[in-house]
Amino acid sequence: MQKITLIWFRRNLRLSDNAVLQHAVARGLPLAAMYAWQRPSESVNPRQTAFHHQAAAELSAKLSAKGVPLFSVQGNVAEAVPDLATRLNAQSVLADEAYTPSETECDNRIWRLLDAQGIAFERFNDRTVFAKADIMSEHGRPYLEFVPYKQAWLHAFKQQIVGQRPSEQPDIPFQTAFADLPPFPEIEPAALMLQGGEQAAWRQWRQFVPQLGVYPLLKDFPAKKATSQLGAYLSAGCISPRALAAEAAARGAHDWLQNLIRRDFYQQWLFHYPEAARQIDEDAAFNADFFCRWAQGETGFPLIDAAMRYLQRSGWLPPVLRQAAAQFWCVTLQQPWQHGARWFAHNQSDDEAAVNLGNWQTAAGLLSLHAPRVLHPTVAAQQFDPDGTFIRRHLPELAHLPKDVIHAPWLARGDVDSHGYPLPMVEI
């Protein structure tokens, strides 16, 4: 049986600027691919699972057109990868680098099993612009603060990437090594705000490009819809962060580029300090009534409630509202960040463990990222949604209120009908 190269697609569900795929093609052996999947009904984050499945289905079709099979597996990945590699007579298994503690532990188990069978297990950076150890301090240690990391990142970017063109889709020669190509599994339909896949990712970027000039001015006004909404595509790996960084830099979009720098920072931070993820304590004491009202958008503070209801419906929030909701939970309500982080992780279609944990620990004041000061919820609402458009869009019971009332309807409750909207859950 002929040797093959097995590609394990994880969070790099694309063909263009895919380092794993490029290295696999360069081996010159027949290719096979693998994707681990689960049904949304079996997932803690059904929306994200469905989104990734859409992306993998598109990838499967593109690979099949070249005669490359994409095998879908379920269950224990640490067993499935070595089993499939052995069955297909793989010479090596190639995958994108992992960053979370759970993935790293799983990779170590897979490496030991494959090594015992004489199969190489190699990983390449496909999730970030710079790999986990590319940006280090002068003492060879990872950065714990964002500002010096950003300066080092920009210096490395100027030296290594500016002027370089991200690699195109590799030329995958048509192969006939596999007589039968496996069908890609179908799942139950899901209502998604965005369509998964590489084509949709680039379409989303092209739609956003005309707004890059006004992004610094409008990004903190959620009603303006001035953000890229590329997080889900980056999370699934439908689009290359290297390619996006090059595109943004070429257009002088330095404010937007900072989002990619911060994403890199959080990824390297979690890899080098995995104890940050282990701080998720399910038994951390919290007020269950507070959590229920906050999660369901019933706090009595209109902007916070509009944000939380929008998150539940869409699986996405503009960064400024994620920050406001997290600060309300951690600072205003004085509740443990772990429960808020877990709720977001279960509802965000663009969830990435490192980014979510980093954002939440920043909101809780545990990670030095020079976070913006904490605003009173009503002040924040007046600043980010001055005319109440976002609030009206997601709190229909308050849609009739004028802008001088909608941010604090309790102050005029004797003069307006708030249709059952609750009073503030706390006095601040």
Question: How large is the angle between the packed helices 302-314 and 337-347, nearest 10 degrees?
Answer: 40
Q: Round to the nearest angstrom and report the end-to-end CA distance of the chain.
A: 71
Q: For residue 175, what is the DSSP state?
A: -
Q: For residue 132, what is the DSSP state?
A: T
205 is in an annotated binding site: no
Please give the helix or strand (H or E) that residue 90 lies within, else none: strand 90-96
Strand 120-124 relative to strand 70-73, pairing: unpaired
Question: 374-383: buried (b, 16+ CB within 10 Å) or exposed (e) per residue?
Answer: bbebbebbbe
Contact present, 146 and 118 (Cβ < 8 Å): no
360 is in an annotated binding site: no
Sheet of 120-124: strands edge to edge?
Answer: 70-73, 31-36, 4-9, 90-96, 120-124
**Nearest in space to 256 (alpha carbons), one of 311, 327, 208:** 208
Separation of alpha carbons 236 and 131, rounded Å: 17
| Backbone conformation region of residue 32, classed left if phi is above 0, alpha if psi is from -120 to 50, else beta | beta
Q: Where are the alpha helices (DSSP H) in 5-145?
A: 19-26, 46-64, 77-87, 101-116
Task: Show binding-site residues.
Answer: 215, 256
Task: Show binding-site residues for FAD.
Answer: 215, 256
